[in-house]
Amino acid sequence: MKTLAELADLSGRVALITGGAGHIGRAVANGLAELKCKLCLLDTAHSDVVAVSRKLAARWNTEVVSLEVDLESEDLRATVRPFVEERFSRLDVLINNAAFYSVEKLEGWVAPLEEQSLAVMRRCIEVNLIASFHLAQSLSPLMRNHGGSIINVSSIYGVLGPDMSLYGGTEMGNPAAYGLSKGGLVQMTRWLATMLAPQIRANSISLGGVYRNQAEAFVDRYVARTPMKRMATEEDFIGAVAYLASDLSAYVTGQNLMIDGGWSAW
């Protein structure tokens, strides 16, 4: 029987993380690099993905390449597979983590129901849902021979309805498109899990809110509603991603893991 350390070891494997320059993308990239995984960090040309990749490679002495792609564009998404194929000839882990959501100022996004824009909703679904499917579809041939793992990053709002009383008196909100796209991602995970088994596993993680200096009134209400009595930190997710990416979870597929401090437990 293998040891826990052997099951967790990712040496020789390659992971692609979308939104790799973002807060959570960077944190989970660090965790996988520590387990000796090679990485491809995908993010937009406006992000600091190149610098993030260099820093990670130097810190963990592993190969980390950056890839600047706007996931909203189907044509640009089509360049991902040839890039990974040429660079690594294989893929073991795909983490669909990038999301259309840090766009608070966009008109028709954080707005009352009747003012939410359908055009913005389509953009959100394109990035959060269709791009995740497109990458799984185009990259799965590179993953089949190695026992691949797909991890889709969802949210409590992909599983539960929003409690709008949390946002009262703040500029924050909870657009329908976000939860809709994240709920779709959880169901897409089950679909992929059954279609791609036994060669490739697919699971999702549904995250609770991460503390980032949000309005005090929001944080107080959020914490009061959370059994663990705090918001999440990026560190809270790295263990789950290491588990789902590695052979530690070799018999786990089609599951959605809530990492929410118990938010969904009552």
Ligand X SMILES: NC(=O)c1ccc[n+]([C@@H]2O[C@H](COP(=O)([O-])OP(=O)(O)OC[C@H]3O[C@@H](n4cnc5c(N)ncnc54)[C@H](O)[C@@H]3O)[C@@H](O)[C@H]2O)c1
21/143 with CB nearer ligand X: 21
User: Is residue 207 a contact residue for ligand X (CB under 6 A)?
Assistant: yes
What is the phi-psi region of residue 19: left when phi exceeds 0, alpha when psi lies from -120 to 50, beta otherwise? left
Residues in contact with ligand X, counted by CB under 6 A, come to a total of 25
Quick one: which of 44, 116, 174, 187 contacts ligand X (CB under 6 A)? Answer: 44
User: Is residue 236 a contact residue for ligand X (CB under 6 A)?
Assistant: no
Q: Which residues are part of the catalytic machinery?
A: 178
User: Is residue 43 a contact residue for ligand X (CB under 6 A)?
Assistant: yes
User: Is residue 194 a contact residue for ligand X (CB under 6 A)?
Assistant: no
For residue 133, the minimal CB distance to ligand X (Å) is 14
Quick one: which of 9, 34, 63, 70 contacts ligand X (CB under 6 A)? Answer: 70
Quick one: which of 93, 98, 120, 238 contacts ligand X (CB under 6 A)? Answer: 98
User: Is residue 153 a contact residue for ligand X (CB under 6 A)?
Assistant: yes
34/70 with CB nearer ligand X: 70
43/92 with CB nearer ligand X: 43
User: Is residue 23 a contact residue for ligand X (CB under 6 A)?
Assistant: yes
User: Is residue 56 a contact residue for ligand X (CB under 6 A)?
Assistant: no
For residue 198, the minimal CB distance to ligand X (Å) is 27
Q: How many other C-beta atoms lie within 10 A of the C-beta of residue 20?
A: 28
User: Is residue 137 a contact residue for ligand X (CB under 6 A)?
Assistant: no
Query: Residues interacting with ligand X, by CB under 6 A?
Result: 18-19, 21-25, 43-44, 47, 70-72, 97-102, 127, 153, 155, 207, 209-210
